[in-house]
Every structure is written in structure tokens, then in C-alpha cells.
Chains A and B, each alone.
Chain A
């Protein structure tokens, strides 16, 4: 059974960079066949896809966030990470990592439990 677990600071100051890591267990990122995504949910609101990475390092981002987002992968640790720069209060959200089987029009079959990140001074 694949499990994903987010980790990182729960509080980030405005204008700084939000950094989160997702640790995958029960399966290897390097095995291929999946994209590894970040998704966020503003408090009391809907879901917003941030972007994904393939084990090779190829990335694809939501056009609305692309200028501030970097997703990277560390296959030796079976982890992938999110960096979101120049954060504001509008970036306060629960951040989820998720797995997406590679397909023509993919879905997210496994999710982490989510981690709340608050942007505040």
C-alpha cells in the first residue's frame, strides 16, 4: 500500500519561500509509471493543482503558479519537494502531495494527509 506524507514548516513569513517535502513509502518513485503532484486547498475552499514531477525530473506546472513554483525529486530518499516563492497570505492553504498514474487524462489515486501552511508575519 502506497503512502505519502508531507512535511515542512507550518508557518512562513510573507515574501519568503514555502518549502515542503513529500516522502513516499510502499513504492518507489524511480519505478516510473506515475506523476507525483502537489495540490493545495485554501481554508474552506476547493482544490487547486500546483504541478507534478516525473522521476526523471521532468516537471509540469499550473500556468497560474508557474512563475513561483519549483518541484524537485530525490529518488535516493524516495521524496519529492515543493518550493513556492514570494508567498502572501493568499498562499495559506492545506498542501497535499498525491500520485497520478500516467494516463491520457489522469486522476490522483493516493494522497498524503495534507499539511497546513500559514503565511503570516
Chain B
């Protein structure tokens, strides 16, 4: 089965840039999507198809994907960005494609 690996936690000071990685075998060949989840709330899509943003998501959120690593970048981090972040792909490498989520990264704003 396909595995997505995220660091358990990332810490950043307000105003700085946070980078959250998502590792997977040849993930650069897949479309990666990112979700933000605050405590007690449902996940919210913040980046789709590697680097596109849904309407209403600030330009501070961006994504990239190459080789074995996809990255969610949050510029000018704010206190309100503190949340868990999950990456997601469809694994089409087997006869039975299915959705795979990373284990999640807790972003702490210092």
C-alpha cells in the first residue's frame, strides 16, 4: 500500500514561513491535496492539485510537488494558522485505487 509520511510537528514564529512536507514514493507523479483541520472542526481544503487554491484560501498558502516530496508552504504565518495539516493522494498504483491520507502535521505558532 502507498504510504504518505509527514513530520508530526512543525513550529514557526508569527510572520515567518512554515513548510510542511509530505513524502511518498514518486509522489511527484501524483496530484497532492492539502487540508487544514482545527480542533473540533472538519478538515478544510487549502491546496488541491499540488498548487491550486480554492476560492477563499489566502495566497499565503501554496504548494509544490516534485520527486518524492510534496510541500505545503504557509507564508507570513498567523496565529490562526495553528492547526493540523494533512496531505492526500489517490493511489492508482494497484488494481484497486484508493484514497490515502498522510498522518498529519501539527503546526504550532510560537
Residue ranges of A at the interface with B (Cβ–Cβ < 8 Å): 37, 39, 46-49, 62-63, 96, 104-109, 111-114
Q: Is the CB of A47 within 8 A of B43?
A: yes
| Given known A-B contacts A96-B42, A111-B43, A113-B42, A105 and B30 have beta carbons under 8 A apart | yes
A-B contact pairs, 12 of them (CB 8 A): A39-B99, A46-B102, A62-B98, A96-B43, A105-B30, A105-B49, A105-B90, A105-B92, A107-B49, A108-B88, A112-B42, A113-B41
User: How far is A119 from B101 in the complex, measured between Cα atoms in Å?
Assistant: 24
User: How far is A112 from B42 in the complex, measured between Cα atoms in Å?
Assistant: 7
How many chain B residues have a CB neighbour from A under 8 Å? 25
Q: Name the residue on B nearest A105 (C-beta).
A: B31
3 cross-chain pairs, A with B, having the tightest CB-CB distances, nearest first? A49-B99, A107-B33, A105-B31
User: How far is A107 from B87 in the complex, measured between Cα atoms in Å?
Assistant: 10
Residue ranges of B at the interface with A (Cβ–Cβ < 8 Å): 30-31, 33, 35, 41-45, 48-49, 54, 86, 88-90, 92, 96, 98-104
Nearest Cβ in chain A — how far from B46, in angstroms?
Answer: 10
Chain A residues positioned under 8 Å from B88 (CB to CB) = 47, 107-108
Q: Is the CB of B101 within 8 A of A47?
A: yes
Q: Is the CB of A108 within 8 A of B43?
A: yes
Other than the given A105-B92, A111-B42, A112-B42, 5 more pairs (CB < 8 A) read A37-B99, A46-B104, A108-B33, A108-B43, A109-B45
User: How far is A53 from B37 in the complex, measured between Cα atoms in Å?
Assistant: 24
User: How far is A49 from B48 in the complex, measured between Cα atoms in Å?
Assistant: 17
User: How far is A112 from B44 in the complex, measured between Cα atoms in Å?
Assistant: 10
Nearest Cβ in chain A — how far from B70, in angstroms?
Answer: 12
User: How far is A31 from B40 in the complex, measured between Cα atoms in Å?
Assistant: 31
Q: Is the CB of B101 within 8 A of A63?
A: no
Nearest Cβ in chain B — how far from A94, in angstroms?
Answer: 9
Chain A residues positioned under 8 Å from B41 (CB to CB) = 113
Q: Which one of B86, B88, B99 has the greatest number of beta carbons of chain A within 10 Å?
A: B99
Nearest Cβ in chain B — how far from A51, in angstroms?
Answer: 9
Nearest Cβ in chain A — how far from B21, in angstroms?
Answer: 16
Q: Is the CB of A48 within 8 A of B101?
A: yes
